[in-house]
Amino acid sequence: MLLTDISSRFTGLAPGDVDREILDAQRKICDALGLDLSALWQWLPENQGLITITHLYRRLEGPPVPDLINASEYFPYLMNQLLAGKVVVLSSPAELPAEAVRDRESIEYFGLKSIANFPLWVGAGPPFGLVSFHSMREEHTWPAEIVERLQLAAKTFANALVGQDGVVYQKDLGEDTAAQAPRLAEFDPDKSWTAVQAP
């Protein structure tokens, strides 16, 4: 089974190998389910409304995906759901409630036909990010069994991103790291990961 194989690849994985394995898992899941895009986003520690993309698999071209986005502004309904720890699965943007006008506009701008968003967290802590899976060519149904398996994949990613010391490891944001997230601390020697202390 694909997700069993993915889970086993994260067992005992060194922090420096997490990036590669998450990206590979995103690609494999999309290929197996006929999906076009998977993105893993993490909140900035100073402002949970701001999220940064840390892992992206995209099969098709589309509008540029910003490295940093104010999710509270562009996806207010979805962001509230995720911060509450809720999974959001939509076969079509038309399934959004009437009050989610801004979310619908943003979804249409990015060319997303179907959405499955899963919060990332470990234990009883609050979500520190999300992983999403999308179809861009046509609407996609999400059987309960597939949603359950994608939740397991999200949990696997979350566990891989959180060290044994309870610190969330997040990719370096480049030159803007200091300005955007002053509490980030360097973690590994090649400076590709940073430790984000829980607030």
Q: Which residues of the chain have pLDDT under 70?
A: 1-4, 15, 45-48, 163-199
Q: Domain residue spans in the chain?
A: 2-196
Give how far Cα 40 sits from Cα of 19, 99, 183, Å. Answer: 11, 25, 21
pLDDT of residue 181: 37
The answer for 166, left when phi > 0, alpha when psi is -120 to 50, beta otherwise, is: left
Round to whole Å and give the CA distance between 128 and 42: 6
Q: Following DSSP, what letter does each residue of 101-114 receive, concatenated?
A: HHHHHHHHHTT-SE
Query: 2-196: CATH homologous superfamily?
Result: GAF domain (3.30.450.40)
pTM here? Answer: 0.78
Please report how many Cα atoms fall inside a 13 Å half-sphere around the Cα of residue 26, on the Cβ side: 24
Round to whole Å and give the CA distance between 115 and 39: 11
Round to whole Å and give the CA distance between 175 and 159: 27
pLDDT of residue 43: 82
pLDDT of residue 45: 67
pLDDT of residue 164: 42
Angle in degrees, CA 143, 138, 37, rounded to 5:
80
pLDDT digits (tens, 9 = 90+) for 60-117: 777 777 778 888 889 999 999 988 889 999 999 999 999 999 999 999 988 899 999 9
Round to whole Å and give the CA distance between 123 and 93: 31
Q: Following DSSP, what letter does each residue of 141-191 receive, concatenated?
A: ---HHHHHHHHHHHHHHHHHHB-TTSPEEEE--GGGHHHH-TT-EE-STTS
